[in-house]
């Protein structure tokens, strides 16, 4: 009898609903976090400094800053929905990197960097005059690379 009672309790216990789960806490949007805005500002500053070095003919120094900026760029773009400011800063970094690569005769690599920008702005929603301008700028970079590679005949 005791065995039957124990089996009945186990069976009834197995049919009980699972204990209530604590409500899942919604993760805050990284774009709204303080670190994100600071990182966008830092990348924008790196872009300005590297661009000045590029125009001064200091390609190696500009390239070092671009390399430093790429870590920030990856962090900013790793969030589910990057901000427009982050996309613009990332795009500016890639554009400068493409120009540095061309100046250093690494045209094939520059073409890949420009392609990334074309894709970035082709897929940006909603499309704006600025996103279209940036996409055209990247396409012009590809055209220049193709010309230098002897593909634009």
Distance CA 3, CA 41 (A): 71
Please check whether residue 2 lies inside any domain of the structure.
no
Domain hosting residue 142, numbered range: 32-148
Looking up tokens 């089996």 gives 7
The pLDDT of residue 151: 74
Q: Which position has the higher pLDDT, 24 or 116?
A: 116
3-state secondary structure of 5: helix
Please check whether residue 4 lies inside any domain of the structure.
no
Domain count, the chain: 1
Please check whether residue 140 lies inside any domain of the structure.
yes
Please check whether residue 97 lies inside any domain of the structure.
yes
Please check whether residue 129 lies inside any domain of the structure.
yes
Please check whether residue 50 lies inside any domain of the structure.
yes
86 CB-near residues (< 8 Å, 6+ apart): 31, 36, 39, 40, 43, 76, 77
CATH of residue 127's domain is: 1.25.40
Please check whether residue 153 lies inside any domain of the structure.
no
25-60: pLDDT as tens digits: 778 889 999 999 999 999 999 999 999 999 999 999
The pLDDT of residue 26: 75
Distance CA 103, CA 117 (A): 18
3-state secondary structure of 109: helix
- Rounded (5°) CA angle 102-97-80: 140
Say how far residue 114 (Cα) sits from the centre of its chain. 14
């Amino acid at each position: 009898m005791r065995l039957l009672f124990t089996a009945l309790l186990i069976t009834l216990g197995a049919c009980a609903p699972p204990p209530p789960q604590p409500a899942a806490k919604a993760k805050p949007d990284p774009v709204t976090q303080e670190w994100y805005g600071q990182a966008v500002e830092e990348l924008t500053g790196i872009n300005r400094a590297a661009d000045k070095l590029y125009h001064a003919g200091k390609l190696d120094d500009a390239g070092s800053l671009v390399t430093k900026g790429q870590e920030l760029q990856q962090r900013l773009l790793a969030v589910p929905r990057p901000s427009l400011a982050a996309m613009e800063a990332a795009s500016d970094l890639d554009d400068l990197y493409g120009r540095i690569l061309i100046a250093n005769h690494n045209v094939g690599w520059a073409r890949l960097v420009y392609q990334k920008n074309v894709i970035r702005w082709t897929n940006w929603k909603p499309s704006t005059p600025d996103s279209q301008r940036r996409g055209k700028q990247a396409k012009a970079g590809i055209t220049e690379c193709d010309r230098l590679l002897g593909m634009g005949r």
